[in-house]
Amino acid sequence: MNTKYMNPYLAGVLLGLVLLATIFITGRGLGASGAIKSLVVFAVDGVAPAHAERSDFYGTYVGPGKDSPLKSWLVFEVAGVLIGGFISGLVSDRLKVVTESGPRIRPRARWFFAATGGALFGIGAQFARGCTSGAALSGMAVLSAAGFITMLAIFGTGYAVAYVFRRLWI
């Protein structure tokens, strides 16, 4: 029973080694938003295949002769994140259905803002071709200019608007 979090620098080194192993073995980085995109493309293709194939956005991933959008590297990797997170929660005794929020906000409002934040990430990650993991972290590891630009844009904007939304967290 250990509910304490790992030393952040140790966790950072381990996370860096996981990313390095990914690059060394597969030649590509880690990601997350790509799997969310694959799920959406899969759903749209299932509900309205003609619409999906006509679209310049979904059409890149679906169509005759193409594998299912779910058969992608990131979908399997994110399935692993779910499993890995669950195992970690299990061994550190942190499995609990709970809503986490700042001291001045009710759970319902927290849910609304969490969903809104998720939606903004869903949109932003398409423009930036990846989120904090796929574009910023993995991009920085291979010294890609995009990785550093996206990282600065995410955290810079975060600090710029943090004061406006302070009631959500402090």
Q: Among candidates 79, 80, 39, which has minimal Cα distance to 62?
A: 39
Please answer whether residues 92 and 3 qualify as being in contact, where contact means their C-beta atoms are separated by less than 8 angstroms: yes
Residue 85 in tokens: 């997170």
**CB nearer to other proteins: pick between 64 and 139:** 139
By rule CB under 8 A, what count of residues binds other proteins?
126
Least separation in angstroms between CB 25 and other proteins: 5
Q: Does 100 bind other proteins (CB under 8 A)?
A: yes
Q: Does 89 bind other proteins (CB under 8 A)?
A: yes
Q: Among candidates 105, 98, 100, which has minimal Cα distance to 168?
A: 105
Least separation in angstroms between CB 54 and other proteins: 11
Q: Does 70 bind other proteins (CB under 8 A)?
A: no
**CB nearer to other proteins: pick between 64 and 143:** 143
Q: Does 46 bind other proteins (CB under 8 A)?
A: no
Please answer whether residues 147 and 141 qualify as being in contact, where contact means their C-beta atoms are separated by less than 8 angstroms: yes
Please answer whether residues 12 and 52 qualify as being in contact, where contact means their C-beta atoms are separated by less than 8 angstroms: no
Least separation in angstroms between CB 49 and other proteins: 14
